[in-house]
Structure 1
């Protein structure tokens, strides 16, 4: 769990930062309205999913990483405990919370792994 500060996530979430939770795809299940989930393949890395009835953002599959990002706000019972900031070099909302801040992504996810100061 963490925060993404990239311009793409900010635009998609309509906010200055996007709170994410990462899951193995087999651990993600749409329990209501599965037939109303639309898709938009923004990049080979990101298959965005949204509700075709209300337009709400639901999740993004990241096939190359084998992970699904379920937006923290879509899980009302989730005890959100962020552990990291990614794409902090693009931040529009500096956050001084003591969490690690990656310039882009950790190297395990194809980024530089470079950290930036708060």
Structure 2
């Protein structure tokens, strides 16, 4: 699958199956994206590549994020410690199929949508499987 930022200056190729699609409510994502929560799609790092265009790198705390150098759209979060890359889920359009919410203890407001809402992370991501009570 090939994706592009809104201005089409950067193109990405995804050649792996997703590990997970989810909504993230962490304070870091809220600050960087200026949103209450963001769409994230995690893939094995070697299955995501920039195939065209220039990117810039930025880290609010420690997690590097790649953006289009022209339109500044956030494209990729580098998850080097676990060998994954997270794609901005909004770039996937209808292919974005979230199955859970994470970091809900940091949420600005409850989201009631029938998906699991983890206070931090599910056990599969190294969390404790604790849910928020919305």
Correspondence for 2:96: 80
How many angstroms apart in 2 are the aligned matches of 1:38 and 1:6?
Answer: 22
Correspondence for 1:55: 72
What are structure 2's unaligned runs of at least 5 residues? 1-20
Alignment of 1:1-118 (within 5 A): 1-33=21-53, 36-41=54-59, 42-43=61-62, 46-76=63-93, 78-118=94-134
- Please say if residues 121 and 127 of structure 2, whose CA atoms lie closer than 8 Å, have aligned partners that are also in contact: yes
Superposed structure 1 runs of 4+ greater than 4 Å apart = none
TM-score normalised according to structure 2 size: 0.75
How many angstroms apart in 2 are the aligned matches of 1:71 and 1:21?
Answer: 7
User: Size of the alignment, in residue pairs?
Assistant: 113
TM-score normalised according to structure 1 size: 0.84
Query: Secondary structure in 1 aligned to 2:64?
Result: strand
How many angstroms apart in 2 are the aligned matches of 1:117 and 1:65?
Answer: 29
Q: CA deviation at 1:101?
A: 1.0
